[in-house]
């Protein structure tokens, strides 16, 4: 199975997936890491680990449709069975999402359906929730929606700052994202009426 990972920045989730795939010897190949900006730091790690890298610079495209078409062409060079969004900070067009229907995952730093969108840790602090977390979900046309694969919960502590909370959530992201990708690769995820069921292949 081929996996293509999309990043926009640091790529710590991508790194967690690459490390897990290697140490646990998943039956798959991380075929490429693709970024929408040339300065995405995660590209360095990918190249150092012998993974093909590519940049499709979102800024240079006049429209979302044209960017998504170019991105899709680049991704499909690697014949992916799974596309993994790992801190990929772009809203995708419905046509793009449709093309990868049932084979594209995202991680969102909140307990969806609470706090979709940006600045999720600030949203959680402002709402005064006592628990927060992260969600891995299949990507559908509605932003930060889609069948939920994995979630992890962390406490919100009285003195928390956005940074402290983000760090606590990130530790959990690095656990649940590799686990979700592995489940997909091993054919253990079925979507039934918008609900993910873990099945024995």
Active site annotation includes 108? yes
Phi, psi of 7 (to 5 degrees): -130, 165
- At 107 the three-state DSSP class reads strand
Rule CB under 6 A: say whether 56 interacts with ligand GRF. no
CA 92 from centroid of its chain's CA atoms: 13
Strands 82-85 and 104-108: parallel
Q: Which one of residues 3, 4, 6, 9 is an interface residue with ligand GRF (CB under 6 A)?
A: 9
Rule CB under 6 A: say whether 86 interacts with ligand GRF. yes
Tokens read off for 34: 């693709």
Kind and range of the H or E element at 68? helix 64-76
Q: Does 106 carry a binding-site annotation?
A: yes
Quote the CA–CA distance of 124 and 63 in Å, as a whole number: 32
CA 112 from centroid of its chain's CA atoms: 14
**Residue number, 93 or 135, with CB nearest to ligand GRF:** 135
**Residue number, 37 or 73, with CB nearest to ligand GRF:** 37
Rule CB under 6 A: say whether 97 interacts with ligand GRF. no
Q: Which one of residues 107, 139, 149, 165 is an interface residue with ligand GRF (CB under 6 A)?
A: 107
Give the residue nearest to ligand GRF (CB).
87
Judged by the rule CB under 6 A, the positions of this chain that interact with ligand GRF are 7, 9-13, 86-87, 107-109, 170, 173
Which residues are marked as active site?
108
């Amino acid at each position: 199975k081929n996996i293509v990972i999309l990043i926009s920045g640091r790529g710590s989730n991508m790194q967690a997936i690459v490390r897990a795939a290697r140490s646990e010897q998943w039956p798959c190949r991380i075929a490429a890491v693709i970024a929408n900006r040339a300065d995405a730091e995660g590209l360095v790690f990918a190249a150092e680990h012998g993974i093909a890298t590519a940049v499709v610079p979102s800024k240079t495209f006049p429209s979302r449709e044209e960017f998504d078409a170019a991105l899709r062409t680049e991704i499909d060079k690697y014949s992916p069975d799974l596309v993994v969004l790992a801190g990929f900070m772009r809203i995708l067009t419905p046509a793009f999402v449709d093309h990868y229907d049932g084979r594209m995952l995202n991680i969102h730093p909140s307990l969806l359906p609470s706090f979709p969108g940006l600045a999720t840790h600030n949203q959680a602090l402002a709402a005064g929730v006592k628990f927060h977390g992260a969600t891995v979900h299949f990507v559908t046309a509605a932003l930060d929606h889609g069948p939920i694969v994995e979630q992890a919960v962390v406490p919100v502590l009285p003195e928390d700052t956005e940074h402290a909370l983000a760090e606590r959530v990130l530790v959990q992201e690095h656990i649940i994202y590799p686990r979700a990708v592995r489940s997909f690769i091993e054919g253990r995820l079925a979507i039934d009426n918008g609900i993910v069921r873990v099945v024995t292949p």
